[in-house]
Amino acid sequence: MSVHAIQHPLVQPNLGLMREAGISTKSFRQLAGEMDERLATVIDPMLATGGTMVATLDMLKERGCQQMKVIVLVAAPEGIKRVQENYPDIEIYTSAIDDHLDRNGYIVPGLGDAGDKIFGTR
């Protein structure tokens, strides 16, 4: 198991203020929001065409997020390319870069329908 404690100089002062016993709800929410705006980790089972991932990253950026990372189980080269074209500085973590997308936009070899497998809907 790996645990990473964030020691970023912009995070630590907010954390100290959030620990104060008498902090107001409004102040706590504001400080917490400033910490979510700085870093977002987007987790998805698959990065196929990249369309949904780019839309998600666009939404986060519009809301002020300054640093984003992507974690997926498997990725297709086409999806990686699309994300990198739109967000060249983004970090993508994956356990496998599969071969390609088929004519329907599915990753080959891929995972099948990851949503059905995760939630047991089939």
User: What mean pLDDT is predicted for residues 4-12?
Assistant: 72
Distances in Å between the alpha carbon of 76 and those of 97, 99, 100?
A: 6, 6, 5
Task: Give the CATH number for residue 47.
Answer: 3.40.50.2020
Per-residue pLDDT at 112 exceeds 90: no
Question: Is residue 117, in this structure, part of any structural domain at all?
Answer: no
pLDDT tens digits, 25-71: 999 888 887 777 677 899 999 999 999 999 999 998 988 888 899 99
Q: Determine the structural domain holding residue 53 and report its residue range.
A: 12-111
Q: Which residues contact 94 (CB under 8 A, 6 or more apart)?
A: 47, 71, 72, 73, 74, 75
Question: Is residue 118, in this structure, part of any structural domain at all?
Answer: no
Domain count, the chain: 1
**pTM for the complete prediction?**
0.73
Question: Is residue 119, in this structure, part of any structural domain at all?
Answer: no
Question: Is residue 6, in this structure, part of any structural domain at all?
Answer: no
The 8 Å CB, 24+ separation contacts for 104-112 are 105/48, 105/49, 106/48, 107/46, 107/48, 107/74, 107/75, 107/76, 108/76, 110/46, 110/48, 110/74, 110/76, 111/45, 111/46, 111/73, 111/74
